[in-house]
Amino acid sequence: MNFHLHSTWSDGVYTPEIIVKEAIKRKIDKIAITDHYQTSKTASLPPKYLKMYVDDIKALRKKYGEEIDIYIGLEIDFSPRTDIENLPEFEDVDFLLFEYVQDELWDGYPLWMLLDLRKKYEQPVILAHNEISRNFRDVDYTSLARVMESDNIGIELNTNYNYTKLDMPYYRLAEDFFAVLREFKVPISVGSDMHDDLNELAQVEDAFSFIQDMKLEDNFKLFLSEVSKYEE
């Protein structure tokens, strides 16, 4: 399973259909296309194309739904680079990834702003590739986990090399946090943030062994059950 993939709808090089076919070939059970929603940071989905994007992935669901589960996601750059004030309802989008939450280096808005915004959405809201050990270094992890549970905000284990430090993925640098998190009903998703290398479709093993080692299976199942609610 891989819940973080970019396509030609934003800054990826493959169309959603090529990605879906390749995922089927590699016997992947579930994938999500998660293109960038409007941001000045990178090629991204303009608001006026949102419906076309959703319809495109829905059509693939119809065509390949027997062979693979396909989810519709979006990644939102939670910073002044995005028009956060005017985000739409995101109807029919199965979950939303928010990147750079509380990330000073990337001008990310603080978590409390997301708590406010989150109330607008019913689908899962997930912190994408967050470097917890840096962005939340002054925060008590139990308090953070409690806030995430009560406001229903999940977190992603992102296996992409861009989100490592000294070859360690950010989630492995935050083991203390995840040891606390397993006591809370906080959804955990997994993804490789693929843009241009189809081999990255399957490069999520490390995240799944982390889930196993850290006993986070219930958190991952929670994500699966929540995200499936919004699938047609």
156 touching Zn ion, by CB under 5 A: no
Q: CB-wise, 3 or 178, nearer to Zn ion? A: 3
Query: Considering the complex, what minimum distance in angstroms separates the CB of residue 134 from Zn ion?
Result: 18
| Letter string b/e over residues 214-232, b meaning 16 or more CB atoms within 10 A of that residue's CB | bebeebbebbbebbeebee
Residue nearer to Zn ion on the CB measure, 108 or 180: 108
**Closest CB 218 distance from Zn ion, rounded Å:** 25
Contact call for residue 131 and Zn ion (CB under 5 A): no
- 151: its two tokens: 């406001």
Draw the binding track, 39-78, toward Zn ion (x: CB under 5 A; -: no contact).
------------------------------------x---
What phi and psi, each to the nearest 5 degrees, are found at residue 115?
A: -60, -40
Structural tokens at position 119: 């109330």
Task: Give whole-number Cα distances, 133 to 20, 83, 115, 120, 186, in Å.
Answer: 34, 28, 20, 28, 18
CB 127 within 8 A of CB 101: yes
Contacts with Zn ion by CB under 5 A: the residue count is 2
* Minimum gap (Å) between residue 35 Cβ and Zn ion: 8
> How many other C-beta atoms lie within 10 A of the C-beta of residue 73?
27
CB of 184 to Zn ion, least distance (A): 25
Residue 94 or residue 193: which is nearer to Zn ion going by CB? Answer: 193
Cβ-proximal residue to Zn ion, closest one: 193
The rounded distance, in Å, linking the Cα atoms of 179 and 76 is 27
193 is a site residue for Zn ion (CB under 5 A): yes
Provide the binding-site residues for Zn ion, judged by CB under 5 A.
75, 193
